[in-house]
Structure 1
Amino acid sequence: MHGTILILLKRYIQTQYDHSTWVNLLELAGLSGATFDHKTVYPDENLYALVDQAAAATGATAGELHERLGEYLVPDIMYMYQKLVDPTWRTLDMLEHTEHTMHRQVRREHAENAPPVLAVKRLSPNEVQIDYVSARRMGGLAVGIVRGLAAYYDEADRIAVTPTTSADGQRVSIYVQRN
């Protein structure tokens, strides 16, 4: 897992709760005193352990936390990759082009990151079908990112996001429609 995701998880926890909650989660996850660097790739188990502990502490499911984290990540992701984003794109355009812009860049610069493979099919001007494939089984994060993109583009009230398979599988299908 790319360190940036773990750093943003830390910020999310500190923003939604407080710093002591983050410190407690690190301890409960067996990562006491751990610090994360945005240039380093860490074992996926670090994120899983932290999210599992956060779920236990908050009463939310791990999937719900993945979705919330995905929404939270979007402004930072968009800032990091702004050079790759066409300023005329909106939510569905961004989804359609993510695999061939941002994910391609990540794979080229950081092959060890292995972002999910997204097969996105534009069904109509107002619909896309996303097939998410990743051994990480974090489709909830992808669902959250889609919702976060809709908010980022001021379309949250017009974008419906529907996972059509379980969001915790290796293969997750997500239907997105603009009303």
Structure 2
Amino acid sequence: MHGTIFTLLKRYVQTQYDHSTWVKLVQLSGLESGDFSHKEVYPDEHIYALVGHAAEMTGIPAGELHEKFGEYLVPDLMYMYQKYINPDWRTLEMLENTEHSMHGQVRREHPENSPPVLDVKRLNENEVVINYVSPRRMGGLAVGIVRGLAVYYDEADLIDVLPTTSEDGERVQIHVRRN
């Protein structure tokens, strides 16, 4: 997992809870340090351990924490990838173009990274189906990012997000509809 995700997870924990909570999560996870470089790639097991212990500490299921973190990530992701984003896009157009515009670019520039594969099919003007594929099994993060995009584009009250399969599988289907 890319170090940027860990850096943002650290900030998320610190803003939602506090710095001591982050330190405790790092200790419980058996990591040597809670500082991550945005230039490095870290084992996926690190994120699993951090989120797993956060779930234990808060009583919030890991999948729900993934969703909340995914929502939190959106403003930073939009800033990082702004040069690949058409300013006329809204939520559904952003979803349609993420795989080609952003994930494809990440794979070309940083082959050591492996973002999930998103196969997005437009059903009609107001609906898409996202087929998320990743051995990381973090579909909850994708669901959270979709919800975060709706907030980012000021469409949260218009967008329904419905995972149609379990969010912890390697393959997750997410139905997104604009009302």
The TM-score bracket by the shorter chain reads: over 0.9
User: Which of structure 1's runs of 4+ aligned residues deviate more than 2 A?
Assistant: none
The question of whether the paired residues in 1 share the 8 Å contact of 2:23 and 2:34 is answered with no
The aligned counterpart of 1:89 is 89
Unpaired runs of 5+ residues, structure 2, are none
1:64 & 1:34 partners in 2: Cα distance? Answer: 22
Task: Give the superposition deviation at 1:44.
Answer: 0.3
Task: Give the superposition deviation at 1:45.
Answer: 0.3
Matched positions, count: 179
Q: TM-score, normalised by structure 2?
A: 0.99
Q: Deviations over 1:67-123 (max 9, x none)?
A: 001000000000000000000000000000000000011000111111000000000
Q: Deviations over 1:130-179 (max 9, x none)?
A: 00000000000000000000000000010000000000000000000000
1:61 & 1:110 partners in 2: Cα distance? Answer: 32
The question of whether the paired residues in 1 share the 8 Å contact of 2:2 and 2:42 is answered with yes
Q: Deviations over 1:10-51 (max 9, x none)?
A: 000000000000000000000143320001000000000000
SS of equivalent residue, structure 2 residue 112: helix
1:32 & 1:132 partners in 2: Cα distance? Answer: 32
2:33 & 2:122 partners in 1: Cα distance? Answer: 45
The aligned counterpart of 1:107 is 107
The letter for the 2-side match of 1:143 is: V
1:64 aligns with 2:64: yes
2:163 & 2:10 partners in 1: Cα distance? Answer: 26
1:35 & 1:108 partners in 2: Cα distance? Answer: 26
The letter for the 1-side match of 2:38 is: H
The letter for the 1-side match of 2:8 is: L
The aligned counterpart of 1:38 is 38
1:127 aligns with 2:127: yes
The letter for the 1-side match of 2:142 is: A
The aligned counterpart of 1:139 is 139
The question of whether the paired residues in 2 share the 8 Å contact of 1:23 and 1:32 is answered with no
The letter for the 2-side match of 1:90 is: R
SS of equivalent residue, structure 2 residue 174: strand
The question of whether the paired residues in 2 share the 8 Å contact of 1:166 and 1:172 is answered with yes
Q: TM-score, normalised by structure 1?
A: 0.99
The aligned counterpart of 2:173 is 173
The aligned counterpart of 2:154 is 154
1:164 & 1:41 partners in 2: Cα distance? Answer: 31
